[in-house]
Amino acid sequence: MATVTATGEIVRRRIDQNLLTALIGAAGGFAFGHWAGNRIAAGYLNINGASGQNDVAVVLSLVLGVLGFLLGIGALNYPIAKVFGREPAQEPQESGFGRYLRFTTDHKVVGMQYLFTVFLFFFTAGLLAMGIRTELLYPTNHIFGPGTYIEIVGEHGTMMMMMASSAVVGPLGNYLVPLMIGSRRTAFPRIEAMSFWLFASGYLVILTALPMGGFPTGWTGYAPLQTEAVGGMDSYLVGFIVVGLGMILAGFNLMVTIIHYRAPGMSWTRVPIFVWAIISTCVLLTLATPTLAIACYFGILDRTALTAFYVTERGGSSFLWENLFWFFGHPEVYIMALPGFGIVGELVPVFTRKPLFAYKVAAAGMIGVTLLSFFVWQHHLFDSGIDPDMRPLFMLTTELISVPTGFIFLVILGSLWKARIRLSSPMLFCMGMILNFLIGGISGVFLSDVPVDVTLHGSFFVMAHFHYTIMGGLIFALFAGVYYWTPKLTGRIMNERWAKIHFYAMFAFFNLTFFPLFIVGMLGQPRRVFEYAANLQVWNDFSSVSAFCLGASFLIPVANFAWNVIIEPRRSEANPWKSYGLEWKTATPVPYYNFDRIPIITNDPYHYGEPDALPVADIPVPVRAAGAYSAAGVGGGGGGTREGDAPVDP
């Protein structure tokens, strides 16, 4: 056994599997898949027969490209070794920048990998958004053709949705949840790492849509356009499946971790509200995402095997796609919104120095949102031929879901009531999220009403509502979390003055960009159309210029992070915000196994302003043996134990 393990270590050192080998594997898999697909389906045309596209070759090249990527990064080493009856080599506890380019089972490294990849998604999709607003500067003079414009719109929406689905659960969920519940690791470290590399490979897959002609459907992928599109549509379908598998694995892993790996004494009434938000989101990820994966699989079969799931003229129905897609698509909205509420609920007590108002009501609201989100999907079909008798039911369920959402909102407002608020940069972003989500929520109530929705469906009003809900909610909350937890994640702190400048610029230009779109939507401007009435040019130009300024505002946090965390590091205090959260009770940088001894939870983390309250946790101090594990840095190994002394380094 030891010999096999040693041999595995030698092989691992000779073949250093990292991002470079993953990209080489992806290129090899893509090329082989394309060759094999052309051999398997020589002369085959896609369903419409117009483009001459061999969809079998395209799909096979994308699938084998993802498989080559996973092989190259080392994600499949463990199962392959087990299949051949060998003992897999243990991943070493690495340090340095290189660990972020490798397959690692340390949840803290995975969290940081997610964080930078999420912002890579966001940056790419943001550049595409600038292209959209550039085109809309003129009502009839065009920079792009209609095909290119809809390709940009679809790519932007799809990448933003992929990013937003994991924007909080991926980086902050994976990094912080084990710390916040007193665990040394997640339940399934290799599944956690696999979820990230699927997420990253999904980004590459959807990028391939650009050179293959894009897709004419927007991010919703509607049939029958889906079955008539060129090869970029295959990238859309395969990309969503790959990212969806990553979402399922991430949700399952964190859900099991929260249920089974909480420290002694952490009852459900002592679980941090951020953790409540994550487990609610994980339920949605685990139960709703398979529907999207199946829907995309049916679409691939229609395009490669000539089935007819969505082909009406051969007995299928395009409404099947709409129902399957939105059965995922509306829980998806809360997959993005709930983590944002969790961040705000976690931060507000810290900066008001008050206990979280009505904690149990907030937790109940998150559970209510999770349950009701599965009963509202057909409000997206109000204007798509839905049985009129079904409209009142889905109008009712859509309006009902605002009740548990309102519970969460009122808990946050109650925590702000009569508080002496410290307007540090994380708190400013929380306040911005509250206001933006309020506007998005109010406009959503209008859209839940059938007559209003029939009038405004497909207009810029809906697009403005969606951006206020997701970008105005999730992205503002994400920045609040990043500014708040960066001292924990890196041991460095960003410049507070520039963080506040970032907030004011982002908040102002966000509202100046998207609020005018409510107006042009009310005046009849449709989405995904690059020509519009000349009388709407002033509003569109105003929105476009504001969008360029909004895009420029994102350079501020990039420069702030690069200078104060990387180039000229500003060391942070151990707990700069004076938080009671359990994640701040560990050393910084966080030790590989998080806690030398599992803490015993004695109180909730929100007893601010209560001088006689018990501390959050009793963390025993172990007696260290010579050579015992040191809390200096994190690495890329796997596993850990839930009880007993800290492990000893080999």
pLDDT in tens, 187-223: 999 999 999 999 999 999 999 999 888 898 989 999 8
Distance from C-alpha of 403 to C-alpha of 401, rounded to nearest angstrom: 5
Q: What is the pLDDT of residue 44?
A: 62
Dig out the tokens for 148 from the structure.
């290119």
Q: How far is CA 268 from CA 272, 397, 574, 586, 614, in A?
A: 9, 28, 28, 22, 18
User: What pLDDT is attached to residue 6?
Assistant: 45
> Is the pTM for the entire model greater than 0.85?
yes
Angle at 434 between CA 433 and CA 439, to 5 degrees: 95
Q: Do 165 and 335 contact (CB within 8 A), yes or no?
A: yes
- Stated length of the chain: 650
Q: In the predicted model, what is the mean pLDDT of the chain?
A: 88
Q: What is the pLDDT of residue 647?
A: 33
Checking if the pLDDT of 118 tops 50, the result is yes
How far CA 92 is from CA of 195, 542, 620, in Å, comes to 20, 54, 27
Q: Is the pLDDT of residue 40 over 50?
A: yes
Q: Residue 58's CB: how many other CB atoms inside 10 A? A: 27
Cα-based angle 351, 403, 436 (whole degrees, multiple of 5): 50
Residue 622 has pLDDT above 80, yes or no: no
pLDDT in tens, 43-79: 665 544 445 678 899 999 999 999 999 999 999 999 9
Q: How far is CA 412 from the centre of its chain?
A: 23
Q: What percent of the chain has pLDDT above 90?
A: 69
* Model confidence band, residue 260 (pLDDT cutoffs 50, 70, 90): very high
| pLDDT-based confidence at residue 367 (cuts at 50, 70, 90) | very high
Over residues 103-130, the mean pLDDT reads 94
For residue 642, the model assigns a pLDDT of 37
Tokens of 114: 């997610």
- Cα–Cα distance measured from residue 450 to residue 383, given in angstroms and rounded to the nearest whole number: 9
Asked if 178 and 261 count as a contact pair (C-beta separation under 8 A), the reply is yes
Rounded to whole angstroms, what are the CA distances from 601 to 258, 605, 640? Answer: 15, 10, 20
Pairing state between β 600-601 and 617-618:
antiparallel
In angstroms, the CA 353 to CA 579 distance is 9
Structural domains of the chain, with CATH: 2-83 (no CATH), 97-567 (1.20.210.10)
Q: Which helix (H) or strand (E) holds 618?
A: strand 617-618
Tokens of 378: 């057909």
